[in-house]
Amino acid sequence: MKYLPAMWPVVPAAGFWGGTSWLDTHAKLVDHVRANQGPIDFLLVGDSITQQWGSALDNKPLTAGWVKQFGSAKVVNIGIGGDKSQNVLWRLDHGGVVGLEPKCIVLMIGNNNMFFVPETGVEPAARGIKACADNLRRKFPTTPIVVVKILPAHEPGNPFYENIKKTNAALDTLHLDADTLVRVVDLTADMTGADGTIKADLFTPDKIHLSAAGYAVYAEKLRPVVDGVLAKAHQAAPR
């Protein structure tokens, strides 16, 4: 794998923070999943941007923006800060979602893969996102999946910003929504101004993570998509 960087985003790999800390974090989420077996409303999958919706890892409640849109819906959040697509793939295959019965899955991954685009290229980064969606589909054959494209970060001209744009464009060519129960959501226009600059009030000072206002926008835009895909799933369900 060392010499095949284009494979990095699509081949499951455990994360590593030094010692066993990443594996310990994964184990904590597996315990959380085991404690919430059976029907749930939402399964949230991703990295720190997902984790910060509100997670058992931090003992933090869901953001006010989420609660405003989705009320008391039962949520299991398996976001882990720093994760790349390959880490999510590993977690999904190592107890990360066993026993859950979600009504809807929301996946956002790929931001941390941008650090490695000089080695992997953008197309493999996009394929990593698709691989995560495909893995979830295999595990949950009839569950609607909302795939949220990588959010903008930093500023136009910054390689990180530009590679996010390119990866999101490459994702379009993979046609994830050929699956009638998959919706791909692009929040770029909601998070940026006319010149492409990110809206400062929606982001924290690192220009990557979302502020409370950013999560409120995210939840507001997510709500009609979720309603639509759940309605589609209901129509498709056997009677």
Q: Look at the pTM and tell me if it is higher than 0.95.
A: yes
Q: Which domain holds residue 180?
A: 5-233
Average pLDDT, the chain: 96
Q: Is residue 119 part of a domain?
A: yes
Name the percent of the chain lying above pLDDT 70: 98
Cβ distance 85 to 9 under 8 Å? Answer: yes
Q: Is residue 134 part of a domain?
A: yes
Cβ distance 106 to 222 under 8 Å? Answer: yes
Place of tokens 């492409």: 196
pLDDT above 80 for 224 = yes
Q: Is residue 49 part of a domain?
A: yes
- Residues 185-196: pLDDT tens digits? 999 999 999 999
pLDDT computed for residue 233 by the predictor: 81
pLDDT computed for residue 3 by the predictor: 77
Cβ distance 154 to 164 under 8 Å? Answer: no
**Looking at the 3D structure of the chain, how many domains does it have?**
1
pLDDT computed for residue 238 by the predictor: 63
Q: Is residue 239 part of a domain?
A: no
As a whole number of angstroms, the distance between CA 105 and CA 233 comes to 12
Q: Is residue 73 part of a domain?
A: yes
pLDDT band of residue 232 (cuts 50, 70, 90) is confident
pLDDT above 70 for 239 = no
- Residues 32-51: pLDDT tens digits? 999 999 999 999 999 999 99
Q: Enumerate the β-bridge partners of residue 182.
A: 145
CATH number assigned to the domain comprising residue 86: 3.40.50.1110
Q: Is residue 238 part of a domain?
A: no
Q: Is residue 99 part of a domain?
A: yes
Q: Is residue 87 part of a domain?
A: yes
The SS3 of residue 34 is: helix
pLDDT above 80 for 1 = no
